[in-house]
Amino acid sequence: MRYFLCLFGLWLVSCNSSQTSPASDNDRDSTEPGFRLIPSETFLFNSMVDCNMATVWIKNSFRIFPGKYGEDPLWGEAHDLKYATGTSVDEAFGKPTTEFTEPSLPQNSKPGKPGLHGAVWFETLYKDSADTSDQTLYALYHNENYPSTLPYDSASGIGYRDYKWPQGLKGEDTKTAVCRIGIMKSTDAGRSWADKGIILQDHQPRLILKPHNTGINFAGGVGDPSAVANGDYLYIFYGEYGYPGKYDSLTYDTAREWEGQCISLARIRLSDLNDPVGKARRWNGKTFDAQADSVGSPIRSLQIPPQAGGGPASSPTAKYYWGPSVSWNTYLNCWVMLMAKAEGPSWKGNSLYVSFNPNSNLGIGDNSQQWSAPRLLVKKPDGHVLWYPSLQPISTPENKTRKFSSVYLGRQARLFFKDNQKDKSPYLSEYVVEFVK
C-alpha cells in the first residue's frame, strides 16, 4: 500500500511538544464544534499499521485488526494482518507482537481465476447487531492489484492492461497499484474470514496512465475507506483516484480529473452485506443512485480549490485530502471526520485535518454531503509525512461500559496517526482530543 517500518514492542515516552504543532481552534465558526489537543505521553503501537485502525468490542473484550495480508508483487507477500484482544483498550493496544494472532483468511487465487486477488487491509469493522453473541463481523477492506495479479479479462471488463502503466513507489522500473474496496465476513468474532467480494471499483477505462499520471500513488481506483452504520445502511467514505469518465491521453483534462476526485461516499444496505457485490450505490451529486463501478461525485466541501493549490491525485504537486476516518460523537451529537492532506508525490504531507457533519441521519436529502471546511488539527515539521489519523477510545470503565470504538466515541478520544520519517514510521499517539460544543 505504502512504505512502512514495523515496530516491535509498545512503550510510553515523554511527549516532545516542540516536534509537533497542534492547531489553534480559536478561529472556528461559532456554529461548528471545536476541539482542544491535550498533550499526553507518547503512546507507540507495537505492530505494523498501514491503514485505518479497525477496532470492535466482542462482549467485554476489545479487539483490534491492524496489518496487511496477501500477494503484492511490489512489496512482497504479507501475513501481517493479525488481531489482538484485551479486556481494556490499553491492554489490546499494548499487546506484544508475539501475542497477536493471524486469523484464517482466504487464499489468493491464481490470475484469471475467480476469488481473492492482491493484498488486503481491514479498514473498518461492523458488528451485526442482530447477533447477540457478538460473533458476526463484517470487515470493509482496502484491496490493491497490478496487471500481473489481476490481468484484464475482456469478457467481464475486470482487470488491467499492462500498457503505459504509471511508476510505482520503488522507482521507474516498478508499477503502481489500483485500489478497490471489498467485504469479508466472520462468524467467529474475527478468528476466520470468508471473502464476500469487491463492492466498489473503477475499471480499466477510468485508469489514468502515462504520460499524465506522475503522482506515484495509484493508477486509479477507490480505496482507504472508513464506514459507519446509520439507519438501514453502511455509509462508506473513500478516496477516489480514477478519471470521471473514460481516460484518453489525447483529450485528458486536468480540471476534469480534479472535479471527480477527493473523498467520496457510497452506501450499501446492511441487509445486503452477506451478498454485497453490485449492491452498493455511489453518491451522484444528488442521490445515492450511481452504480458501484460507475462515476460518482465527491464531497465538494472537502475538495481543495485550484486557487488554493488543489488538483488531481495524478499530479505530483497538487494538494488533496485523503484517508478519511469517520466516527459518531455522542458528546457533540454529530459526525467527525479526520483526514490527511497530500501536498506532494506519494501522499507526502505533514498535516492532519478535521471536519464535522451535524446531521444524525445521513440518508435525508444531501445530509451526507454537509461537511464543514476541514480545519487544521496537527502539523509536523518538514521531513515528517503523516498518514492514517484515527480516534480511539480512552481506556476508562465508562468508555468500556458504553463500548466506545473507532467509529463511536465521546467527548475525549486518543488521536493516533502514522508518522513517517527518514528512517522510521511509528504509529503513535501524542494527544488526547477533547471536543468542545
The pTM assigned to this predicted structure is 0.94
Average model confidence (pLDDT) across the chain: 93
267 vs 17 pLDDT, higher one:
267
Rounded distance between C-alpha atoms, residue 340 and residue 317, angstroms? 15
Span 44-49, average pLDDT:
87
SS3 308: helix
Percent of the chain clearing pLDDT 90 (strictly above): 90
Residue 2 counted as domain residue: no
pLDDT score of 14: 36
Question: Omega before 345 cis (within 30°)?
Answer: no
Per residue in 416-429, pLDDT tens? 999 999 889 999 99
Could you please report the per-residue DSSP string of 81-104? --BEEESSHHHHHT--GGG-BPPB
Q: Which domain holds residue 85?
A: 11-436
The single-letter code of the amino acid at 49 is: V
Give the confidence band of 13 by pLDDT, cuts at 50, 70, 90: very low
Listed range (3-7, 23-27, 390-394) with the worst mean pLDDT = 3-7
pLDDT tens for 318-374 read 999 999 999 999 999 999 999 999 999 999 999 999 999 999 999 999 999 999 999
Reduce the DSSP state of residue 385 to 3 states and report it: strand
Asked whether residue 1 is domain-assigned, the answer is: no
- Per DSSP, 339 falls in state E
pLDDT digits over 131-187, tens only?
A: 999 999 999 999 999 999 999 999 999 999 999 999 999 999 999 999 999 999 999
Per-residue pLDDT at 19: 54
Q: Closest Cα partner for 389 from 353, 357, 422?
A: 353
Determine which helix (DSSP H) or strand (DSSP E) holds 401, and give its type and residue range.
helix 397-401
Look up residue 254 and give its amino acid.
T
Q: Is residue 5 part of a domain?
A: no
> How far is residue 203's CA from residue 41's CA, in Å, rounded to a whole number?
45
Split into its structural domains, the chain has a count of 1
Q: Look up the CATH number of the domain holding residue 209.
A: 2.115.10.20
Residue 10 has pLDDT above 90, yes or no: no
Q: How confident is the model at residue 31 (pLDDT cuts 50, 70, 90)?
A: confident
Query: pLDDT tens, 366-385?
Result: 999 999 999 999 999 999 99
* 210 within some domain: yes
Residue 208 and residue 318 in contact, taking contact as beta carbons nearer than 8 Å: no
Q: Which 3 state secondary structure label does DSSP give 50?
A: coil
Nearest to 312 by CA among 322, 325, 323, 324: 322
**Nearest-angstrom CA–CA distance, 308 and 364:** 31
**Would you say residue 4 lies in a domain?**
no
CB–CB of 417/428 below 8 Å?
A: yes
Residue 7 Ramachandran class (φ > 0 left, ψ -120 to 50 alpha, else beta): beta
| pLDDT of 27 | 61
